[in-house]
Amino acid sequence: MRKRVGDYILALLIILLLNFLLPRLMPGDPITAMYGDAHVEMTPQMEAHLLERYGLDGPMGEQFVIYISNLFQGDLGYSFYFNAPVSEVLLGALPWTLLLVVISLFLAAVVGILWGAESAWRRGRRFDRASLVAVMLLNGIPGFVLGILLLLLLGFFWPVFPISGGASPYADYTGIARMADISRHLFLPALTLTLAQLPRNFLLMRSTLLAVKEKPYVFTARSKGLKERLIRYRHALRGALSPVITRLGMSVGLMFTAVLFVEIVFAYPGLGHLFYLALQYHDYPTIHGCLLIITVCVLVFNLAADLINQKIDPRLRQKDARQLLE
Amino acid sequence: MHVNYWNEIKKDNLGRKGLYMIGFLAVIAVGAGLLAPHDPFAYVAPPLNPPSLSHPLGTNEVGQDVFSELLYGARTTLLIGSLAALFSTLLSLITGLLAGVLRGWVERVLLRLIDVMLVIPVFLVALLVAAYVQPGEVTLIVLLSLLLWPPGSRIVWAQVLSLRGQGHVAAARSFGAGQSYVAIRHLVPELYPLLAVNFIQVVRRAVFMEAGMAFLGVFDPSQKSWGLMLHYARDFMFTEAWTWWLLPPAVAISFTIIAFALVGYSLETALDPRLRRPVYAGD
């Protein structure tokens, strides 16, 4: 466990280093590299202020110290495109992304695990084969293609859901009406993201359960004469859940990649959309901020998966028992 | 690990379909110059023409032939996908071997690096780098190779450890064979099936990442790529043009990824003895 936390901290450091070094390794003056297109509109005073504030003409080591200390004070720089501090811009977008990710993660996990389990119990039969083919096809369609198709189908040709945004603009809904409005906007992005994540969970659950159902303890449960339902859902499923949840936690990084595309397709006002806008306008401080906050999210989710796992699998609670399982 | 994986794929229904699909794509990629009715870079007709006899999929917003673009797109996709997969698999092999054979601090450093890289959202890092250097084909291949090696490396390392414990390797060592001799003569050949699976999987990921980056517009716009086609076509998605301009590259990307997924899945099944077991009646 302590090693895992160490990995997370190292990963964070690498991202920080990347964010720090990339703009500074670019040829040309540092302000252009840091602020991209916004440099053109800066006054000499602003330039001088930025140079001084971030120590951009000092030696690298000094710059890094300033960078890190700014970071710990929540100063991620200033976005000239949004005309606001980056931290503020990010905090405005974060809840939308978290809403989308948490809901889709949950749905994809529940559906994927149950479907995969059912398929594994019926291995080789028609249900299993059909499921496999369906999942393989679904797995091949990238999230943005899926999103565009769903958008055209359910937003345009048969317009049951709004095609963009996270809530109706200027509508001033309150209470339940606002929640309904947000849910309506959430539906298509969440559906896309869930469908994009589903295949991995399905395949993982299926192959894990295929291995688990041959285990001696399942045989024991069966020879005790337990009901089939009990064997399947209390004994086998629980044994197969632990690796699946670990991998689910590991896949959150991919989830944040997928959410980027989904948000762009549906113009959903989260971090992915923000990242895209920043990318288009070369708003580097915002790009770096997005990357940093997404990495932090991934790490937090990974850690959460590890903790949940310890709750579910008593074997993991013992110190260093992890290695035994691997 | 002595599995004739070529035969295994051909025997497997899904795997065979995947192979046919990849073959089809390869023919298009190689023969794009002969098959394409027009130069995909030339402005051959008025913009946004609907499909006609001379332009089977109409024209795009600047009057280039969409069908020809689609054929040349296969070339870009397969080139980037296969080269990125080749280099990253080589990296996996080298790092995995180094860690498994040398052990000690080399192993510790490499494994730690792999664990850390598995946590980092690589696609976003690729985008960050691409935001500074608008990547062309070569840059993208290098970038993807550097980002996609860790999972394969871990698998190679684990396999090397298990191989080292086996009789023939121990025998070779006891006859005085050096580490590098054993690695090249005894370990690498046994790793081929694993490397093949890894290669196929990385092709799939690389194709996805190339398409995704081009879709986001961070790819050299002078190239012909399915992702770029989607990028431009998306502005016209609510017009008639979506059927002939947006749908074809979308289908092409999915087709390619599915093809590699099918082959990869059937290879994996062939190599995993757990999944190879015959199906019992009560199963």
In this prediction, residues A290-311 reach a mean pLDDT of 80
| Distance of alpha carbon B123 from the chain centroid | 14
Asked if A262 is an interface residue toward chain B (Cβ–Cβ < 8 A), one would say no
What's the rounded Cα separation, in Å, for the pair A10 and A32?
29
Do residues A305 and A249 lie in contact, with contact meaning Cβ atoms separated by under 8 Å? yes
What's the rounded Cα separation, in Å, for the pair A78 and A84?
6
pTM of the model: 0.86
Contact call for B254 and A145, based on CB within 8 A: yes
CB contacts < 8 A (A, B): 124
CA dist A110 → A106, A114, A197, A248, B194 (Å): 6, 6, 11, 11, 31
Tallying the residues shown for chain A, one arrives at 326
Mutate to test the interface with A, among B13, B128, B218, B243 (most CBs of A within 10 A): B128
Q: Between A74 and B143, whose confidence is greater?
A: B143
pLDDT digits (tens, 9 = 90+) for A232-261: 888 888 888 877 887 787 777 778 888 989
Contact list, A256 vs chain B (CB under 8 Å): 121, 124
Residues 184-213 on A with a CB inside 8 Å of B are 207, 210-211
Query: Is the model's pLDDT at B206 over the cut of 90?
Result: yes
Which element (helix H / strand E) includes B14?
helix B13-35
Query: Is the model's pLDDT at B283 over the cut of 70?
Result: no
What's the rounded Cα separation, in Å, for the pair A98 and B191?
41
Contact call for B254 and A140, based on CB within 8 A: yes
Strand spans (E) along B3-86: none
What's the rounded Cα separation, in Å, for the pair A142 and B254?
7
Mutate to test the interface with B, among A24, A119, A144 (most CBs of B within 10 A): A144
In this prediction, residues A228-232 reach a mean pLDDT of 85
Contact list, A260 vs chain B (CB under 8 Å): 123-124
What's the rounded Cα separation, in Å, for the pair B148 and B118?
9
Asked if A236 is an interface residue toward chain B (Cβ–Cβ < 8 A), one would say no
pLDDT digits (tens, 9 = 90+) for B48-73: 788 887 888 888 888 888 899 999 99
Q: Which residues pair with B65 in a beta bridge?
A: B59
Per-residue pLDDT, B2: 56
| Distance of alpha carbon B237 from the chain centroid | 28
Per-residue pLDDT, A226: 87
Residue A2 pLDDT level (bands cut at 50, 70, 90): low
DSSP code string of A64-97? HHHHHHHHHTT---EETTTTEEHHHHHHHHHHHH
Q: Between B168 and A115, whose confidence is greater?
A: A115
Q: What's the N-to-C CA distance of chain A in angstroms?
A: 13
Query: Is the model's pLDDT at A194 over the cut of 80?
Result: yes
Mutate to test the interface with B, among A17, A26, A119, A148 (most CBs of B within 10 A): A148
% residues pLDDT > 90 (chain A): 25
Contact call for A136 and B129, based on CB within 8 A: no
CB-count exposure of residue B90 (10 Å: 0-12, 13-18, 19+) = middle
Residue A20 pLDDT level (bands cut at 50, 70, 90): confident
Contact call for B119 and A7, based on CB within 8 A: yes
- CA of A300: which chain B residue's CA is closest? B119
Do residues A212 and A240 lie in contact, with contact meaning Cβ atoms separated by under 8 Å? yes
Per-residue pLDDT, A37: 67
Contact call for A149 and B131, based on CB within 8 A: no
**Residue B280 has what DSSP assignment?**
P
Per-residue pLDDT, B281: 33
